[in-house]
Amino acid sequence: MVNPRMLQLGTNRSCIRELFEYGMRRAAELGPDKVCDFSLGNPSVPSPAGVGETICRLVRESESRALHGYTPAAGAADARAAVAADLNARYGADVQPGELFFTCGAAPALTAALSALAVEGAECLIFAPFFPEYTVFAEAAGMRPVVVPANTEDFQIRAADAAPLLSARTQAVIVNSPNNPSGVIYSEERLRELAALLEEKEREYGHPIYLIADEPYRELVYDGARVPFIPLLYADTLLCYSWSKSLSLPGERIGYVYVPRRAADGEKVFAAVAGAARAAGHVCAPSLMQHVIANCAALRPDIEAYDRNRRTLYEALCSYGYECVRPQGAFYLLIRSPKGSAQEFSDRAKAKDLLIVPCGDFGCPDYLRLGTCVSYETVLRSLPIFKELIEEA
């Protein structure tokens, strides 16, 4: 006998993974230059040079046990100190090293945060469009996900849309900005409105409601846009972060949860995050990567290539008549299906070896997502296909 829910999760592949694997098979059959694969959010720019240099230096110069051995479960002291110092320098925050819990990327940061808050009957609000794994993570933690429908006017969050869905069962609200799949950065004004609503509801229900800020794209922003530092706007924030995208290290699995001590029951929540990570089999985040972060916390990615893809695709697709959401950050472009369902449009594109993801699982069923972290050649090759598709539509 196997756990049926786990069997289902392991058998029903996500549509992103399915498209990506299809793309790999087609590329092997036809040649990689015949497939335009926009399915995945795998960074296409190399890690900043300092990352590779640091890895080489650490491997050359460090004693093996210090470099590859277990670290404390919450993380190595120097890595925690380097991240706290970087956040404080950038945001004028007061992050203490002891408030950071290192994880194997943002996904385990989210599962630990959700499990830490999953009391009996708990609900978790999720703003659409959202990273599809949120519902998987919330349910696995024992929380019921409650989706706030997408605001398709400008894809910003609206407190008024969340208000009727909050209840005494609400333990957490997840926000992701810059957003996957829309690329929108939630404005400080909208976040303040949400914070005011949550503060009011905390008073009404007599318990904290935690805002889980999922921010793996925080450094991927364009045109000088600013990403508000949410813990400064709302005290009961748990911030989940990873270097998967910002330092192009998704396979190395390194990130953290920041639980401010000043958050309601902050010390207990931090301990529960540690407990949830422990229960999930976390021993420590990869030690070599923690040492890399201790040395590279202040490095930023070179996003010129993402920006060029973003501008080229946005301008071209708009000129062909597509309705596109203008991305301010991350490396995605959200487009509305010009005709028929998003699944039908994705299938028609697939028949031309153009792979774009229908966004039903993101809570945005009329839209499709392009992962724009691809080569510029792929962008240029895709343009006539996009034109053909809308002209046929």
Going residue by residue from 10 to 29, which x/- string records binding to ligand PLP, judged by CB under 6 A? --------------------
Of 109, 26, 57, give the one whose Cα is nearest residue 288. Answer: 57
Q: Which one of 71, 180, 337, 382 is in contact with ligand PLP (CB under 6 A)?
A: 180
Q: Could you give the CA distance from residue 92 to residue 94 in angstroms, rounded to a whole number? A: 7
Contact 128, 147 (CB under 8 A): yes
Q: Could you give the CA distance from residue 261 to residue 268 in angstroms, rounded to a whole number? A: 9
What is the secondary structure of 319-345 as a DSSP string? HHT--EEPPSBTTEEEEE-SSS-HHHH
Structure letter (DSSP) for residue 245:
T
Q: Which one of 176, 177, 246, 337 is in contact with ligand PLP (CB under 6 A)?
A: 176
CA Rg value for the chain: 21
Cβ distance to ligand PLP smaller for residue 82 or 106: 106
* Residue 100 structure tokens: 């950071």
Q: Which one of 99, 214, 353, 361 is in contact with ligand PLP (CB under 6 A)?
A: 214
Q: Which one of 75, 216, 231, 358 is in contact with ligand PLP (CB under 6 A)?
A: 216
| Residue 338: CB minimum distance to ligand PLP, A | 25
Asked if 244 interacts with ligand PLP (CB under 6 A), we say yes
Provide the H-helix boundaries in the chain.
4-11, 15-30, 49-61, 64-68, 77-91, 106-117, 133-141, 159-162, 188-205, 266-279, 287-296, 304-320, 342-350, 376-392
Number of residues that bind ligand PLP (CB under 6 A): 13
Asked if 222 interacts with ligand PLP (CB under 6 A), we say no
* Residue 215 structure tokens: 């921010």
Of 61, 83, 3, give the one whose Cα is nearest residue 295. Answer: 83
Q: Could you give the CA distance from residue 223 to residue 38 in angstroms, rounded to a whole number? A: 23
Cβ distance to ligand PLP smaller for residue 47 or 242: 242
> Which residues, at least 6 apart from 61, have a Cβ–Cβ distance to it below 8 Å?
none
| Residue 220: CB minimum distance to ligand PLP, A | 11
Q: Which one of 250, 260, 329, 338 is in contact with ligand PLP (CB under 6 A)?
A: 250
SS3 89: helix
Q: Which one of 87, 106, 138, 159 is in contact with ligand PLP (CB under 6 A)?
A: 106
Contact 244, 106 (CB under 8 A): yes
17: amino acid identity, one letter: R
Asked if 328 interacts with ligand PLP (CB under 6 A), we say no
Asked if 41 interacts with ligand PLP (CB under 6 A), we say yes
Q: Could you give the CA distance from residue 114 to residue 96 in angstroms, rounded to a whole number? A: 22
Asked if 105 interacts with ligand PLP (CB under 6 A), we say yes
Asked if 129 interacts with ligand PLP (CB under 6 A), we say no
| Residue 155: CB minimum distance to ligand PLP, A | 14
Point out which span in 13-21, 99-107, 167-175, 290-298 binds ligand PLP (CB under 6 A): 99-107
Point out which span in 56-64, 80-88, 101-109, 318-326 binds ligand PLP (CB under 6 A): 101-109
Point out which span in 102-110, 155-163, 183-191, 272-280 binds ligand PLP (CB under 6 A): 102-110
Of 263, 265, 247, give the one whose Cα is nearest residue 255. Answer: 247
Q: Which one of 107, 239, 335, 359 is in contact with ligand PLP (CB under 6 A)?
A: 107
Cβ distance to ligand PLP smaller for residue 99 or 252: 252
Point out which span in 183-191, 242-250, 292-300, 376-384 binds ligand PLP (CB under 6 A): 242-250
Q: Which of residues 130-159 bind ligand PLP (CB under 6 A)?
A: 131
Residues forming the site for ligand PLP (CB under 6 A): 41, 105-107, 131, 176, 180, 214, 216, 242, 244, 250, 255
